Chains A and B, each alone.
Chain A
Amino acid sequence: MIEVQNVTKSFDGRTVLHDITTTFETGKINLIIGQSGSGKTVLMKSLVGLIKPEKGRILFDGRDIITMGPKDIKNLRKEIGMLFQGSALFDSETVLGNVMFPLVMFTDMTPAEMKDRAMFCIERVNLTGAENKYPSEISGGMQKRAAIARAISLNPKYLFCDEPNSGLDPRTSILIDELLIDITHEYGMTTVINTHDMNSVLGIGENIVFIYKGHREWVGDMKKIFATESKALNDFVFATDLFQEVKEYILKHGFTAKGAARRGD
């Protein structure tokens, strides 16, 4: 579990995060949603320690990343996997090389053991056959899956994803969402996803934190989001006529989305 307590961050005198307090739960898909410029990326970067807030605490199962020394941060980071918006695969390495990278750097496995583990992760994300290809030789969706395989290769306790569906077609986005929810439940990870993809919000959001103008405006799950009275959240999530109709349908007939069946709700 990750607890965010009273986190405040400013840039050049402009406060981007105002006293944010929330919790990201273990074994669940936790979504951070909000408009562009709302502060969700700053919150995500603060969570992984790339940005240091001026005030507040960020506790990883009781360990505060803000006050940690460099050695403890380094150890904590071995428990963290991250999927970047642009995948951030190393161009000079093959898919197999990318997935093996954390194992080479942080384990004492033999080369054969590392390869076995990497191939297991590659199979887990359905990329078998692409292990010897370079990132530039595979599609955006495959790059995202390779990045997920790299992120889970060390069996992380915490998985962070920054806009995992950015630049992907709807079908591939759903595949990535399904993969994320499956591995989160399978490995019992605390998964935090920064997104403004409404399909993800309504399909896999088990714990949703809505950030509005740097404030934590709303917290709930994908069922509660349909009944929200927050105008800012309504305007953001149900911005199109289609989503308005979906909302009205759900409120009338109840929540029977395919995603719910997948999660076993």
Chain B
Amino acid sequence: MSLIESIGNFGKYCIFMARVFSVPDRWRVFGKRTVAEVSKLGIDSIPLVIIISLFIGAVIAIQMQLNIASPLIPAYSVGLATRDIVLLEFSNSILCLILAGKVGSNIASEIGTMRVTEQIDALEIMGVNSANYLVLPKVVALVLFMPVLVILCMGTSILGGYLVALVTDLITVSRYVYGLQALFQEWYIWYGLIKSLFFAFIIASVASFFGYYVKGGALEVGSASTKGVVTSSILILLFDVLLTKLLLQ
């Protein structure tokens, strides 16, 4: 993708966002659609979040124990390091990268299919602002529900590490729990939640943008879905760096 094309796409994205963030035609319809999107994009992602978080939390705890086993490092460091990795990076950035794949492809393919089957043209001809009607509930739903997923991910990942301590002899439960409490900084939780809001917005808006401007047929819908996931993943990583610099320094 050339620089000029990227700048052009950014301009198009800004115009698209201006249409998305206009006043809904019917607030009641907007409310109903937002609740439906919370269910589809958020609640339906809970099983995936639990499975991934539980296993990654366990793996982090095992890796920490195996790699920092030294008489110079206190044993409770496993709990402390697991907690900080989960709070600072895994529960927000990595989780959002995973959700960019699941939720982003879902959004881009749904809107893309509506475009190629003329459902978006039908909305426009009826006088409905299709960008606002289709995309705003998705953006609002994901931004509202992402903190719930992040908190769930934090808890489940730490539980994964706890289970490692409980069922293996790598580390004792008491040392793991002591490590979880040691040098705790509440700001890390807020930092993770703030980052997740930005990432949720990126996932929903970028995937919608690529789906909305699809031209062609099924092949192009698939291609748009891939572009949506790749672009939102890159933007999540970029914003991760920027937000870390802004929020932690």
Decide whether A and B are members of one complex. Answer: yes
Residues on A facing B (Cβ under 8 Å)? 48-50, 73-78, 80, 82, 84-86, 88-91, 101-102, 104-106, 160
Residues on B facing A (Cβ under 8 Å)? 25-26, 29, 113-114, 117-119, 121-122, 124-128
A102 in complex: contacting residue of B114, B121, B124, B126, CB < 8 Å:
B126
B124 (CB) vs chain A CBs: closest residue: A50
With the chains together, A121 CA to B204 CA distance in Å? 36
Q: A85-B118, A104-B26, A104-B29 are in contact. Are A78 and B125 (CB under 8 A)?
A: no
Given contacts A88-B117, A91-B114, 20 further A-B contacts (CB under 8 A): A49-B125, A50-B121, A50-B125, A77-B125, A77-B127, A78-B126, A82-B125, A84-B118, A84-B122, A86-B118, A88-B119, A90-B122, A91-B119, A101-B126, A102-B126, A105-B25, A105-B126, A106-B126, A106-B127, A160-B125
B residues less than 8 Å from A106 (CB atoms): 25, 126-127
Q: Is the interface of B mostly helix, strand, loop or mixed?
A: helix
Task: Give chain A nearest CB distance to B216 CB in angstroms.
Answer: 14
Q: Which 7 A-B pairs have the closest CB atoms?
A: A77-B127, A88-B118, A88-B122, A84-B118, A74-B127, A82-B125, A88-B119
Task: Give chain A nearest CB distance to B243 CB in angstroms.
Answer: 35
Residue of B26, B29, B119, B126 with most partner-chain A CB within 10 A: B126
With the chains together, A74 CA to B126 CA distance in Å? 8
B residues less than 8 Å from A80 (CB atoms): 125-126
A residues less than 8 Å from B25 (CB atoms): 105-106
Task: Give chain B nearest CB distance to A160 CB in angstroms.
Answer: 8
With the chains together, A84 CA to B118 CA distance in Å? 7
With the chains together, A84 CA to B124 CA distance in Å? 12
Task: Give chain A nearest CB distance to B224 CB in angstroms.
Answer: 18
A84 and B29 contacting across the interface, CB-CB below 8 Å: no
A residues less than 8 Å from B117 (CB atoms): 86, 88, 91
B125 and A48 contacting across the interface, CB-CB below 8 Å: yes
